[in-house]
Each structure stands twice: as structure tokens, then as C-alpha cells.
Amino acid sequence: MALQVHFAILGCVEQEDTFGDDTPVIRWNGQETWSGELDSGEEVDTNHFVLFGDSDPGIVSLTERDWPDADDHLGHHTIRKDEVGQDWRRAIFRSDEASYYLDYQVFEG
């Protein structure tokens, strides 16, 4: 069976943009896996699954889409294969005056 990562709750503690909603983008090893809109104090269940693949560790990153300007990098978090079978974990992203968290779990299935 393959190792997978379940990305669950993405929470916005403090958004990056001053006006309007942020448009956060979750990337797994550089590939976009989810995007949406969030405002400060909001959460969303991304309920997204990705395969771990051959690389160890894997990198989940969060950016804020800022079209037509360049996207804002809000941070990244390393996820290791040895986290398999552990309880829910939390990645924290704090950059560019923003604060987000992403709950995830590594499992075999």
C-alpha cells in the first residue's frame, strides 16, 4: 500500500491581503493541490489526499495568489514518511504578515 497525506483543515488566523479575501494555494512538492478563498478567522476543510511518492521528505507550501502581482510565499513545512500512523499534525505558515495553519495526517492506504 502507498503512503498518503490527508490535508484537512486550513485555517486563516491573519490574512495577507488588507482588502478582500486571500486566495491561498496549497502545493505538495511544487504541484498545486488546492486553492480557495479565506478571510481572517475562517477555516475550510480542504479534504484533499496526495500520494507521498518516492521522495522523503515531502514539502507542503502555502502561497497567496496575488494576480496581477507576483504570488506571496507564506511558508513551507516538511512532512516525513516516519510520521505515518501518528495522530493529526499541524503545519504553521507565518510569512508576509499572514498566519495560517494546515492540519494533516500521514497514513498507509
Beta carbons within 8 Å of 17's beta carbon, 6+ residues apart? 64, 66
What was the pLDDT predicted at 55? 76
What are the grid coordinates assigned to 49, written together?
A: 489526499
Averaged pLDDT score across all residues of the chain: 91
What was the pLDDT predicted at 50? 95
What was the pLDDT predicted at 66? 79
What was the pLDDT predicted at 37? 93
What was the pLDDT predicted at 101? 98
46-96: pLDDT as tens digits = 999 999 887 789 999 999 987 777 788 999 999 999 999 999 999 999 987
